[in-house]
């Protein structure tokens, strides 16, 4: 009887204090909200899934074959989406969503292909770090890579 009571107590404690991991379906929904808002210039939609302290980075190899890391302020990203992003016809197609999570920390790896004015431009990967807040899952960091000429596109 004591064993059953102990087992039941441990089981209830585990269920009560465990947090549901970010599922692939939910990760895809969050990233799609952000990307669709970005493409539409809808900064309110983007902010709905952004942590207030979100950061962004970009990595690429420059024309001199040097590795470059740049930092992009969230406010600059939002400003670009709201204004300059509408000047060019572009489409960033995410080709996959690979989700890993542990408690209130999750990661979504999303390779992409980028098209400008209907023509393939470059490829890379978006790496989204999400955290679970008291409210919901939020994007805390985005780092993306840009590859030109090594994408195997025709």
CATH classification at residue 72? 3.10.450.50
CB 139 within 8 A of CB 129: yes
Q: Is residue 87 part of a domain?
A: yes
* Whole-number pLDDT of residue 153: 54
Q: Is residue 85 part of a domain?
A: yes
Instruction: Quick: pLDDT tens for 92-119.
Output: 999 999 999 999 999 999 999 999 888 9
Q: Is residue 12 part of a domain?
A: no
Q: Is the pLDDT of residue 42 over 80?
A: yes
Q: Is residue 154 part of a domain?
A: no
Q: Is residue 104 part of a domain?
A: yes
Q: How far is CA 73 from CA 13, 17, 19, 26, 79, in A?
A: 41, 35, 31, 26, 10
Total structural domains within the chain: 1
Q: Is residue 80 part of a domain?
A: yes
Q: Is residue 6 part of a domain?
A: no
Q: pLDDT class for 13, splitting at 50, 70, 90?
A: very low
The range of the structural domain enclosing residue 84 comes to 21-146
| Mean pLDDT rounded to a whole number for the chain | 86
Q: Is residue 13 part of a domain?
A: no
- Measured CA to CA, the distance from residue 54 to residue 34 in angstroms comes to 12
* Whole-number pLDDT of residue 123: 95
Q: Which of the residue ranges 12-26, 76-90, 136-150 would you say has the lowest mean pLDDT?
A: 12-26
Instruction: Quick: pLDDT tens for 46-66.
Output: 999 999 999 999 999 998 999
Helices 74-82 and 24-40 cross at an angle (nearest 10°) of 60
């Amino acid at each position: 009887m004591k064993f059953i009571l102990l087992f039941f107590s441990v089981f209830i404690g585990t269920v009560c204090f465990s947090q549901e991991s970010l599922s692939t379906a939910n990760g895809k929904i969050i990233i799609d909200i952000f990307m669709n808002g970005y493409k539409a210039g809808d900064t309110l939609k983007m902010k709905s899934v952004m942590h207030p302290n979100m950061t962004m980075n970009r990595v690429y190899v420059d024309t001199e074959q040097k590795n470059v890391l740049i930092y992009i302020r969230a406010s600059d990203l939002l400003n670009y989406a709201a204004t300059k992003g509408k000047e060019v016809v572009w489409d960033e197609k995410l080709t996959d969503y690979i989700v890993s999570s542990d408690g209130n920390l999750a990661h979504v790896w999303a390779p992409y292909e980028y098209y400008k004015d209907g023509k393939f431009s470059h490829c890379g990967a978006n790496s989204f770090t999400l955290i679970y807040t008291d409210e919901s899952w939020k994007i805390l960091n985005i780092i993306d890579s840009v590859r030109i000429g090594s994408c195997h596109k025709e």
